Amino acid sequence: MSSNEIQTERSMIIFVNGQETQISNGHTAHDLLLDLGFETRPVAVEVNKEVIPRALLPSRVLCEHDQIEVVTLVGGG
Amino acid sequence: MAHTAVTIACEEKSQPSLKVGSFELASRLVVGTGKYASYAEMAECLDASGTDCVTVAVRRERLLNTAGENILDHLDLERYTLLPNTAGCFSADDAVRVARLGRELLRDLGNKGSEWVKLEVLGDQKTLLPDPVGTIEATQRLVDDGFTVLVYSSDDPIVAKRLKDLGAASVMPAGSPIGSGQGILNANSLRICLEYLKDGDPEYPVIVDAGVGTASDVAVAMELGVDGVLLNTAIAHATDPRTMALAMRSACTAGRYAFLAGRIPRKRYATASSPESGRIHESS
């Protein structure tokens, strides 16, 4: 195994909706939605308090200790 | 008189009757989607209420149980304009974040409600009364960010005027605390709010938000001259929610007509409705 492959398989910790989550290095916000099974669900994503438009999720590479919020609509008054 | 008749005729034809910024709604009732026993019951109640605008909240997606239903499976987005709220926010920062997340969600859905927000910045958990300082700050920031801001406020006329001056598209004074069912506790403050907010700007929309307990509360609010009423719990937690939704719809219409018609002055003593003259015991 080359050092490059070791590099790509390394994982990192991020926080998703307050929960510590392990993902692979180089994962994008879109990859995270795929991991969570949310890619077809009505959700919006915030990374470190900044809303990321859906179209930009595939190009948003996540970094160690990023704080992610994945939200949806619920009943409310 | 002719003008009033025309107004009523227009409303009966379901012409847009409530205008907030660039938004035009056929119904003057805005109905919340929380607290129903089921989504099916919610959908029935919304239908019965006659509303075409419903509020929704923004919350974390559940990381487990992804097979769960979403409220959007039960809302006809062609029929209802969604009004996302910032409920549960206790700071301007959080409210601005939630408003922006709501906008992104609704843009993705293609619902025109993406460009407006029901802003709530709450003061404490016990009363859920608005924090006026945080509310003013968040209103300013969201207006600057291009939102059409409908802002939940207390019934303080001075705060209400400040919020309008900052660019809020509608100020929404509480009748009484959220979910309390106490109705309109201070009609005098609401009257002053209406006078200040509509001074030189009679079309400025004022919506009573929160506190409704039953249909007469809606009628009282509408009779005072507010442009609409936003409610949730009073329908969702009624013994028979669907029938209460019908009652709210009727009360909203009745209150609006009564306001347009103009009530008689209150008097301390009686005034006979039947003629004073011609009574059989009168001496000729």
**pLDDT digits 0-9 by tens, B179-199:** 999 999 999 999 999 999 999
The reply to whether A60 falls in a domain is yes
Structural domain count, chain A: 1
B153 touches chain A (CB under 8 A): no
| % of chain B with per-residue pLDDT over 70 | 93
The reply to whether B141 falls in a domain is yes
The span from the CA of B28 to the CA of B44, in Å, is 18
What is the complex's ipTM, to 2 decimals? 0.89
Q: What pLDDT, on the 0 to 100 scale, is given for residue B68?
A: 74
Active site residues of B: 118
Q: What is the pLDDT of residues A6-53, one digit of tens each?
A: 445 689 999 999 999 999 999 999 999 999 999 889 999 999 999 999
Minimal Cα–Cα distance from B179 to chain A, Å?
9
Q: What pLDDT, on the 0 to 100 scale, is given for residue A2?
A: 44
Kindly list the distances between the CA atom of residue A26 and the CA atoms of A6, A20, A59, A67, B122, in Å, as whole numbers in the listed order: 13, 17, 10, 16, 39
The reply to whether B267 falls in a domain is no
Task: Give yes or no for a contact between B150 and B119, defined as CB atoms under 8 angstroms apart.
Answer: yes
pLDDT at B166 over 70: yes
pLDDT at B126 over 50: yes
* A53 to chain B: closest CA residue: B104
The span from the CA of B194 to the CA of A9, in Å, is 63
CB contact under 8 A, B108 and A49: no
CATH number at residue A64: 3.10.20.30
CB contact under 8 A, A73 and B34: no
pLDDT at B92 over 50: yes
Minimal Cα–Cα distance from A4 to chain B, Å?
32
Minimal Cα–Cα distance from A7 to chain B, Å?
28
The reply to whether B265 falls in a domain is no
pLDDT classification of B11: cutoffs 50, 70, 90:
low
Instruction: Supply the range of the domain harboring residue A50.
Output: 3-71
SS3 at position A24? strand
The reply to whether B143 falls in a domain is yes
CB atoms under 10 Å from CB of B169, counted, come to: 20
Contacts of B231 in chain A (CB under 8 A): 77
Instruction: Supply the range of the domain harboring residue B147.
Output: 22-59+73-260
